[in-house]
Every structure is written in C-alpha cells, then in structure tokens.
A and B are shown apart, each in its own frame.
Chain A
Amino acid sequence: MGAAATEKADAALIETVVRLGDNALILGQELSKWTSNAPTVELDIALANQSLDLIGQARLLLDYAGKLEGKGRDEDALAFHRDAWDFRNVLLVEQPNGDFAKTMLRQFFYALWAESFYGALQESRDETLSSIAGKSVKEMAYHVRHAGEWVVRLGDGTEESHRRLAAALEELWPYTHELFMTDAADKAMIAAGIIPDVRTLRPAWDEGVAEVLAAAGLAIPENSWQPEGGRRSVHTEHLGYILAEMQHLPRMYPEATW
C-alpha cells in the first residue's frame, strides 16, 4: 500500500472506532439519567449497570481511537473536549429517555444491533477491536434480554403501558435505519476485513425485532422517514444537552480529580 492509501485506511479506522465509541458513550450517558429515578430499586440498579457497561465499552473504544490518532488525546479528551460537530454517534442513541417504555425500546433496538455487530466484530482482523467485541457482545446480549422482556411486558401489559410503547415505537422507529447505513469509511473497513457489513446483519435484526414486537402486540411501522446524519456529525438538537451535562464539570475544572 502507498503512503496515501495507508493514511486513508488509518483515517477510516479512526472514524470507525470513534463512531462505535460515541454510540456507547452517548447512550450510556443518557441512560444513566435513570439512576435514582427508575420505577423500582431493582430497575434502578439494572439500568445503572447497563449504563456502566456502555461507558466501559466507550472508554476502551475511545482510548483506542486516541492511540490510533496519535495526537496525545486520551479517552477523557475525546469524551469531554469535543463538541457536537465532532461526535459521530447515530441519532438513535441521542434520543431522550422519555418515559420508561421509550427507554426500553431504544435500548432494545440498539442492543440487538450491537449484539450482532460485536458478535461479528470478534472476527475482525484488528485485534484490539476483536477483543473489545468479545467483552462487549456478552454485555449487549444481556441488554437485549432485559430490554426485550420489558418491551413485551409493556406492550402486553396495561392499556396505558401499551399506549406508551406504541407511541415510543412511532417516535423511534425512523432512527433505526441509520444503524444499517454504510458510507465510504465503512466500505473501506469492510473490504479490509476490519468490520462486518451491517447490511448483512439487517435480516436477523428485523426478525428479532418482529418477534419481540409481535409478542408485545405491535407491528413494525412503515419505513417512510429515515433520518440519518449522526455518523457525519449532523445531530438532532438533543445531543447538545447531553454534552452540556456530561462535559460541564471537566470543562469548568479541567484538572479536577476524585
């Protein structure tokens, strides 16, 4: 490979790792807002656990991204000292928690995607990604189980819980399509055997979603509107609020430690 081609491949790899790290970081941060507010104390602990799973994944990924970049930025620099126009997460994970039904459905959609993505990523030719995937796939499998069961319980529960879940589905469904989109950076990484092709993961994801929604008494909505842009830093207005809360302390007191 020529120097220019290598540089391009490196840039695509950094892009890929940052995207994965940002997905985990933003979802983990938003999910953590349930801590002390969940419907029961057991759920409070469960959601905090899941939030910490995601933030743990984000730390590994952003640490790796910083090393690949080689400009001396560590995981904290990437998490706390970038602005919205540099974040590369999908729009789904920055959608607000809303009510418990919306949080569970968002978690289910993302976790089901992440479980299959990390599952395939274990075969990556990049050893660091492959080992991060091996740790993360188990965590996401549990999130799928937990959130999936809540989706069924709520959909198949009371009139109110069904109504809330149906509203969440209406709201969140459009944002699921971005999970399966690919651009030039993805294609380069797929060709290099670094990441799986998300398009091949879609049929199994669709099937898993259909199964759970059917048990919840809901149908998959029409694929009319397919918003995208998070992966190239065109975000919804919600990301700014998440970052403001997440970043304000380290920006106010840059040298602060526990």
Chain B
Amino acid sequence: MTMTSERDWPLYEVFIRSRQGLSHVHAGSLHAADARMAIENARDVYTRRGEGTSIWVVRSDLITASAPEDKGEMFDPADNKVYRHPTFYDIPDDVECL
C-alpha cells in the first residue's frame, strides 16, 4: 500500500495580517498539498482566536534567504554606526507622533 502522508506535502510559510494597516507577519509554517489547502490549514491553525484579517502563504522552498554564515559581513557593519539612528535631534514637545 502506498501511503501519502503529510511528510510528502511541501512546507508553506504562513504570514498573517492581524488588522488593517499593519503588515503581514510571519506566523509559522505548515504542510499542505497545495496553496489553497495551505490557506485553509493556516486559517485553522493560526487564526482560531481572531488573530487575522488576511493570510499569505508561500512555499518555503521559494523563499531565498540570507545565509547564516554570511551574518558577519551582512549585519555587523551596521553595528557601530550610531549616527544612522535618529537620536540626535531634540524633538519639540508638541510633536506627538514621532
């Protein structure tokens, strides 16, 4: 007997937008036979408590990621450049949304 199990299904990454105006945020990953099933599985697994207004799914193997071993050259140079942070300004008291 040939068994088709979850292990044979591709992995999908799930992104949920919790409310209008916010970005989709990575929520986790799950197995599904196709994208439509992935959306439904994501609905059932990640939005049961009213977390979502929108779901994106994408096959994990379609994501190009930075390599962990490149971490040094990729990210360390930004560490000692404090002047890139907007912390050198005096903010007037009556400006609220900064």
Contacts and interface: CB of A to CB of B under 8 A. Distances in A.
A145 B37 CA distance: 11
29 contacts: A39-B5, A39-B6, A40-B5, A40-B6, A40-B31, A41-B6, A42-B6, A42-B30, A42-B31, A42-B32, A42-B41, A42-B44, A42-B45, A43-B41, A45-B44, A45-B45, A45-B48, A46-B40, A46-B41, A46-B44, A49-B44, A49-B48, A145-B40, A146-B40, A149-B36, A149-B37, A153-B33, A158-B4, A160-B1
A233 B86 CA distance: 74
B47 to A, nearest CB: 10
Interface residues of A, number: 14
A46 B47 CA distance: 11
B3 to A, nearest CB: 10
Contacts of B30: 42
Contacts of A153: 33
A149 B37 CA distance: 9
Interface in A41-93: 41-43, 45-46, 49
B91 to A, nearest CB: 46
Which 4 A-B residue pairings sit nearest by Cβ, starting from the closest?
A42-B41, A46-B44, A40-B6, A45-B44
Interface string B1-40: 1101110000000000000000000000011110011001
B37 to A, nearest CB: 7
Interface in B34-74: 36-37, 40-41, 44-45, 48
Interface string A23-47: 0000000000000000111110110
Size category, B interface:
10 to 19
A103 B6 CA distance: 19
A38 to B, nearest CB: 10
Interface of A: 39-43, 45-46, 49, 145-146, 149, 153, 158, 160
Contacts of B1: 160
Contacts of A43: 41
Q: Which of A41, A42, A43, A158 has the most CB of B within 10 A?
A: A42
Contacts of A149: 36-37, 40
A145 B6 CA distance: 21
A149 B38 CA distance: 12
A146 B43 CA distance: 11
Nearest to B1: A160
A49 B47 CA distance: 11
Contacts of B41: 42-43, 46
B45 to A, nearest CB: 6
Given A40-B6, A42-B32, A160-B1, 6 more contacts: A39-B6, A41-B6, A49-B44, A149-B37, A149-B40, A158-B4
A135 to B, nearest CB: 14
Nearest to A44: B44
Nearest to A47: B44
A153 B4 CA distance: 13
A118 to B, nearest CB: 20
Contacts of A145: 40
A40 B30 CA distance: 10
